[in-house]
Amino acid sequence: MMKKFLSLSVCAFALVLGTSASAFAVETPKPLQLLFGDQVYTLNFATNPELLGRTSSHTLELGDTRLPLDLDQGLPPVVENVRIQTEFDNVINRAALEAFFVRNTPLLNDETPPVYIGYDDSGNFSVTGFPKSGYYVDFDTLEILVNQAISYGYEHVRVPAQDGYSPVIPDQELIDRGITDVLAVGKSNFRGSSAARRQNIRVASDKYNGLILAPGEQFSFNGILKSVRPEDGYVEELVIKGNDTEKEYGGGICQVSTTVYRAAFNGGLQLDERFNHSYAVPYYQPHGFDATIYLGGKDFKFTNDTPADLIIQTLVSGDDMYFVFYGTDDGRKVVSEGPYISNHRPEPAPIIEETTVLPPGVQEYVSYGQDGFDTVWNRTVYKPGEAPLEETFASYYKAWPARIARGAGGRYQDIPVEVVEEVEPVAVTPEPAPAPELDPDFFSLENSTFAD
């Protein structure tokens, strides 16, 4: 215990009050790690002295008798052989601790703005504000735990916190349906997308905004999408077709299916059908957290297994896309781990395609190559009164060659590649589940997938 003691006689106490405070300095505590969700934050008291405060306690000693003494009430009568012992301690500075969390963590509190949801005068689903995800921290308990750790030299403290979202204020119609809480948020980023891809993302996402699922009802991405015709507002962009990447109407819609998949995964909802892309598309990091679709083929499906209706909000903001689920919070909690990446396979040699469109020897990338690997995500859903549901979601990504167009009559040369930063595939424990067996027509045209 890092404490400093001072003993003095009552008659000498006035002399002590004039002594320099440095004479009573307490040793700086060692760094303290705060375990917060799946993150670890360090309180370094040496480099951030503002995190510490000082406290003192006093004891009146008369022979073998020790009595607590409050000096704010004045000094006791002068009695021979009576001594006062003062003990100095480090304590956490409560205001500095709260400021530390505000700077470093997604914090929620009573001042977090609410989200207003309902219907406008035209009957359209309307949302004012955006749900902020974060943690409600019990600072009263945390202050006690940190002070105990400082006093006894503990190295770790688990932060007493509850994850959650901004409060929701629904209109009466939604209240009657039991839609009162944020259930989940899914997010993806499409930085670097072309104007055509961005248009397809926006057009498709609007199809799902305001959609209501009744309890037990299944969501089918393709069943709602229905078509990707130009008259619907879609334009041509790259899609994965068999072993090629070509332009087709609706390219990029998998950004939408991936984002809704992430919301359903994060919300602990029942996942019924999901397929990963043929290769690891850079837009969908972290890897293994994507869902590809193709009309007439692969679909993404989940079931609303909550006790009330569920309504969906879609939002595109800058380069980010969101799906937000509102409904009744039934107390379920979700813990996920991943991605575990293994079985790395290097990108194959590029495929050269001669063309008369380019001058002889001039080369351009048609599509970039990707390494292949396997990923695993684990999810455990805890529902009150039920056994935990443990699930594993495995993905298998092919090693994919780049395709380069070269002007006829020229010779191959290296050309610069725009590097997209990706997670380095490494072998880790636990080992992923075996790669799923592929149907013989997995790479056929009818089982093509929208690319990014």
Q: Determine contact, residues 367/401, Cβ cutoff 8 Å.
A: no
* Residue 368, in any domain of the structure: yes
84 and 192 both lie in a single domain:
no
What contacts 144, CB < 8 A, 6 or more positions away? none
Q: How many domains does the chain have?
A: 2
Looking at the domain assignment, is residue 77 inside a domain? yes
Amino acid, res. 4: K
* List of E strands, 122-235: 125-128, 133-137, 156-158, 161-165, 168-170, 181-189, 212-213, 218-220
Residues 95 and 232 in one domain: no
Does residue 139 sit within a domain?
no
Q: Is residue 159 part of a domain?
A: no
Q: Tell me, yes or no, whether 373 lies in a domain.
A: yes
On whether the CB atoms of residues 400 and 347 are closer than 8 A, the answer is yes
Angle at 249 between CA 421 and CA 301, to 5 degrees: 75
pLDDT tops 60 at residue 425: no
Domain boundary among 41, 73, 104: 104
- 151 in a structural domain: no
Task: Kindly state whether residues 204 and 83 are assigned to the same domain.
Answer: no
> Could you tell me if 65 and 182 lie in one domain?
no
Most confident segment among 233-242, 299-308, 400-409, 424-433: 299-308
Under the banding of pLDDT at 50, 70 and 90, the label for residue 271 is very high
Dihedral angle over CA of 380, 308, 106, 210, nearest 10:
120
Give the dihedral sign, CA 329/304/278/379.
positive
pLDDT of residue 122: 92
- Structural domain for 32, as ranges: 3-104
Q: Which range, of 124-128, 232-236, 266-270, averages the lowest pLDDT? A: 232-236
Whether residue 243 has pLDDT greater than 60: no
Residues 296 and 423 in one domain: yes
Q: Are residues 328 and 435 in the same domain?
A: yes
pLDDT band at residue 413 using 50, 70 and 90 as cut-offs: low
Is the separation of the CB atoms in 340 and 375 below 8 Å? Answer: yes
Let me know: does 186 contact 290? Beta carbons within 8 Å.
no
- Whether 267 is covered by a domain: the verdict is yes
Shared domain for 68 and 183, answered yes or no, is no
404 and 271 housed in the same domain: yes
Residue 123 lies in a domain: no
Whether residue 438 sits in one domain with residue 304: yes
Confidence at 135, pLDDT banded by 50, 70, 90: confident
223 plus 308 within the same structural domain: yes
**β-bridge partners, 212:** 311
- Domain final residue, candidates 71, 89, 104: 104
Last residue of a domain, one of 49, 83, 104: 104
Asked whether the whole model's pTM tops 0.85, one would answer no
Banded pLDDT at 242 (limits 50, 70, 90): low
